[in-house]
Structure 1
Amino acid sequence: MFGRFGKDAGSLLGIDISCCAVRLLQLRQVAGAFEVRAQAVQTLAAGVLQDGRVADPAQLAQVLGDALARSGATLREAALAIPATAVLSKTVQVPAGLAEDALIARLCHEAEPFIPFALDEAAFDFECRGSVAHDPCYEAVGVYACHQGWLDGLEAALELAGLRARVVETDSLALLRAVGADDDAVAVVRVEPGHWALHAQHQAWRADVGAAADVPQALAACIERWLQALEGPAPARLVVTGAAADSARALEVQRRLGIETTVFDAAEPALALAYGLAMRRAP
């Protein structure tokens, strides 16, 4: 349930649950393009989430139910996101052709040293990446893990709301999908009340901020520091998303860094994460 990484372009209800709002989106495909079929944004009271995790599933379920009713959405299977910074990842090499049970057992054994909590508290996913170049008898597998506590509250709230959490993935994957980024040339900046985050391929940073969040120059300076820490070349394009995204921030980032910077859907930049989630295919 946690993952299946990399399977795109489907029809699930995209639900973005942030500290202050639930954003819900249903897409439909018309002539190969996505169109919004239903959407709603519902305010979330303080305390429903604590440090990003669901602390009050019953209250969240009520908000989800209200958003669902307002939106007119017809889907009941959903894709959700957790912060990329909450997910641990590692690439391991395993003998090719292992049966699924043997593969999972091997991956758990390989993952145990890099997981800072008990294995029975972890939720796992994996992604087969093909044969190892120098030894075709082995294949490379990406292993992903998060603490089960990130998922328990989400699943409970959705069940109470009459929904099913079919996919849970990282916010980085969903945001990069939303903007059509399939390589290192594009990165996404998410600007929300109280925090910023930068999402690039296989890398993510987050900064909690106060009143400085209202100053476009502060965001530009923060992104500049993040880009200096990037592994590999800087992106050729930045896309700004989130409830606090606006053209002033995008223009200041572009002026200071010399990188093309745009706002995701200037009318609804806050819906980028829900949009990317709604593009997912059910596994």
Structure 2
Amino acid sequence: MFSGFKRLGPSGVIGIDFGSHSIKAIALSKGQGTYQIDGVAEAAVPKGLIVDNRLEDIDKVTLIIKRLRKSFPSNYKNAAIAVMGADVMTKVITMSSDLNELDLEARIELEAETIIPFPLDEIFIDFEIMGPNEADSALNDILVSAARKERVLSQAQCVDESGLTTTIVDVASHALARSSELVFTPEDYNHGIAVVDIGTSQMMLSVLYQGNVIFTRNKNHGGAVCTQMIADRYTLSLLDAEKAKLENDLPVDCQSDVIAPFVSMTVNHLRFDLRMFTNSPNNVAITKLILTGGGVLMPELVEQLRAELDIEVEVADPYLGFEFKNKADKGVLTQSGSKYMMALGLALRGVI
């Protein structure tokens, strides 16, 4: 995505998702009309090591990536990473379709000074021609993306020092859109589809329309909030609260005193974010909501969203038509595949 990083040929990559609770990775190849999962791995991240997408100790994160690397075939040398939240911004602008690539790049750099709220020497800038503008065919719609160099380079350093090579830097919302489109029906293309990723510390809403991300909103909310609520309610350490949550070893009253309030809070956050999109200047109606991320493995949340929203709600599961090099990987993705959607979207960049 961003200049300064190599663009791949047909070889695949390992998609690496840097989460605050764990780092997840997928290696993907493409055969005769189908995708094959060649490796899946997840490694726990100690609390405080990755905060708000910022790596607090590059050496320790590098060691985690090195451990993950052992789970993948030796022929995989390249990796794809993503930036998100306040570290990245995207904007669609229009430019004359007559401009050649060099002139277009120069014009975008000039335009960036007015549309990007970061000092230009602190960011990477890239652009993609989306196609002719609907209102004026003499213009092209251009997707301009900017990301803070510090965030990109810190992730890339960990990957490169682990023995892999960072070949792709993507925008997180676009990576999720890419993997979510695998579960689209033909009718979805011309409707607004909301993709909601609920992780440990962040919730991200993206709205897709005709193959493009037209709206993105991030919020500091996720599974860690539920863990903190459990810890506070039962006077537990965060480690013990997280263990009890994952093993479903919770007191009887936890469902009513903690889980239900957390689910209601999450639904209200999402309802507010969806309303923000509805109130924005667009003519797109959302007809489906696709859930991704580890947070959606909570069945109570999915059930309440289906009960309260007037749209179809689907938990992402794009792996049904995939082949698997290892049977164990199929078991992992069958059980908790939604939390690997970011890594999958990144891996897809190497095979499409």
TM, length-normalised to structure 2: 0.71
The structure with more strand, counted as a fraction of residues:
1
1:133-160, Cα deviation, whole Å (9 max, x unpaired): 6665544322211221221101111110
Structure 1 residue 236 displacement after superposition: 1.5
> 1:259, 1:135 → 2: CA distance?
33
For 2:347, the aligned partner's letter is A
> 2:55, 2:28 → 1: CA distance?
26
Does residue 219 of the first structure (1) align with residue 226 of the second (2)?
no
Does residue 18 of the first structure (1) align with residue 87 of the second (2)?
no
> 1:52, 1:2 → 2: CA distance?
18
For 1:267, the aligned partner's letter is Q
SS of match in other structure, 1:70: coil
Is contact 1:39–1:73 with CA below 8 Å preserved after alignment?
no
Return the match for 1:185 from 176, 185, 192.
192
Go from structure 1 to structure 2 and tell me whether the alpha carbon gap of 1:100 and 1:153 turns closer, same or farther (over 3 Å shift). same
Q: How does 1:246-265 map to 2 (within 5 A)?
A: 246=297, 247-265=299-317
SS of match in other structure, 2:28: strand
SS of match in other structure, 2:23: strand
Structure 1 stretches of 5 or more lacking a match? none
* 2:293 aligned residue: 242
Pairwise CA RMSD of aligned residues? 2.7
1:25-51, Cα deviation, whole Å (9 max, x unpaired): 012224322231101000112333232
> 2:194, 2:24 → 1: CA distance?
22
Go from structure 1 to structure 2 and tell me whether the alpha carbon gap of 1:137 and 1:185 turns closer, same or farther (over 3 Å shift). closer
> 1:131, 1:198 → 2: CA distance?
26
* 1:2 aligned residue: 2
Does residue 280 of the first structure (1) align with residue 349 of the second (2)?
yes
Structure 1 residue 65 displacement after superposition: 0.8
Go from structure 1 to structure 2 and tell me whether the alpha carbon gap of 1:137 and 1:226 turns closer, same or farther (over 3 Å shift). closer
> 1:226, 1:149 → 2: CA distance?
28
Go from structure 1 to structure 2 and tell me whether the alpha carbon gap of 1:20 and 1:74 turns closer, same or farther (over 3 Å shift). farther
Structure 1 residue 183 displacement after superposition: 5.3
* 1:58 aligned residue: 59
- Structure ID, larger Rg: 2
> 1:77, 1:88 → 2: CA distance?
25
Is contact 2:96–2:138 with CA below 8 Å preserved after alignment?
yes
Indicate the larger mover: 119-128 or 238-247: 238-247
> 1:149, 1:183 → 2: CA distance?
37
For 1:193, the aligned partner's letter is T
TM, length-normalised to structure 1: 0.87
Structure 1 residue 15 displacement after superposition: 0.7
SS of match in other structure, 1:281: coil
Structure 2 stretches of 5 or more lacking a match? 209-213, 230-257, 318-333
> 1:160, 1:144 → 2: CA distance?
26
Indicate the larger mover: 128-137 or 254-263: 128-137
| Sequence identity (%) | 23
Is contact 2:28–2:351 with CA below 8 Å preserved after alignment?
no
Return the match for 2:204 from 188, 197, 203.
197
The aligned length equals 280
> 1:134, 1:242 → 2: CA distance?
37
> 1:200, 1:54 → 2: CA distance?
28
